[in-house]
Amino acid sequence: MQQKEYEKLVKAKSPKSKVILPLIKAFFVGGAICTLGQGIREIGEKCLSLDEQAAGCFTSVCLIFLSALFTGLGLYDELGKFAGAGSIVPITGFANSVVSPAMEFKREGYVMGVGAKMFNVAGPVLVYGISASVLYGVIYWLVLLIGGKL
Amino acid sequence: MIYFRAFLVGGLICVTGQLLLLFTDMTSARILVLFVTLGVLLTVVGLYQPLVDFGGAGATVPLTGFGYLLAEGAKKAVEEEGVLGALTGGAAAASGGISAAIVFGYLASLLFSSKTKQ
């Protein structure tokens, strides 16, 4: 009886924390990575006097470098276990999805192992991302053309 | 303060991803694909630019920001070069990040070994 009551209690309590806690972790880690990005961006704009576009590129490159380094040291995967989507959704997660299989498939060689497998996740992202942007570009071009703005 | 807004926007975008992880059986690869495509789509309908203006890196650092970069690049290139810009603009705008990921990924594979074998 006591155990049943306990199980009931566990059932009542656990789904909530199983949902809320990962969300909070994702929020804080994801937010922290973006805040770091904002810091790098300000350094690029103020100290290196980069324009907006270059500062954005500088930010991405720095974050990707840091992600590659921490993935190499095995620390990013630890962060991933803790943060879930908080470490997957930022660009550092994209970099991690390139670096991690590159390291893992080194034993299959540097061409079909590292070279091919690093696009396991990045490949689909680029296929859909670039395709969507090309589609948008063509539609935008047609709109300009019909509107007589070209 | 821009740092707080970046934290807020970036955090909320990641929470959206976490909700997908928790309540759907989407893998992280599918979530990344969804987010980059969603980023392009939201930029096209004009909803992402206000988010970038408000949240700064909080909107550009998540993968939706990668989609924003692709879409903005395509738009700008079409205005400057015509229809050919649709093909060159997106990838050109994102080329820094793509090349960085490839080069740093390759270097990491030379310098480090995966620990998953253990």
Label residue B118 by pLDDT band (50, 70, 90). Answer: very low
Cross-chain CB nearest to A85 (options B31, B37, B96):
B31
Q: Which two tokens stand for residue A35?
A: 């805040």
Same domain, residue pair A10 and A68: yes
What pLDDT digit, counting tens, does each position of B16-30 carry? 999 999 999 999 999
Q: Please say whether the dihedral angle defined by the alpha carbons of residues A86, A90, A91 and A92, taken in this order, is positive or negative.
A: negative
Do A111 and A132 lie in one domain? The reply is no
pLDDT digits (tens, 9 = 90+) for A20-46: 999 999 999 999 999 999 999 999 999
Cα gap B95→B34, rounded to integer Å: 20
Task: Choose the closest CB to B36 out of A40, A61, A129.
Answer: A129
Q: What is the ipTM of this complex?
A: 0.94
Closest CA to B76 of A141, A126, A41, A145: A141
Based on the domain organization, do A75 and A26 belong to the same domain? yes
Q: Record the pTM.
A: 0.90
Domain that holds residue A97: 2-117
Hey, which residues 1-30 in chain B have their CB within 8 Å of chain A?
2-3, 6-22, 28-29
Among chain B residues, CA nearest to A25: B15
A135 shares a domain with A66: no
Q: Find all residues with CB under 8 Å of B54, minimum gap 6, and list them.
A: B5, B9
Residue A95 and residue A148 in one domain? no
Q: Please, which residues have CB within 8 angstroms of residue A25's CB and are 6 or more apart in sequence?
A: A82, A83, A84, A86, B18
Ordered by start, the domain boundaries in chain B are 2-111
| A15 and A32 in a common domain | yes
CA–CA distance, A24 with B11 (Å, rounded to integer): 9
The count of domains in chain A is 2
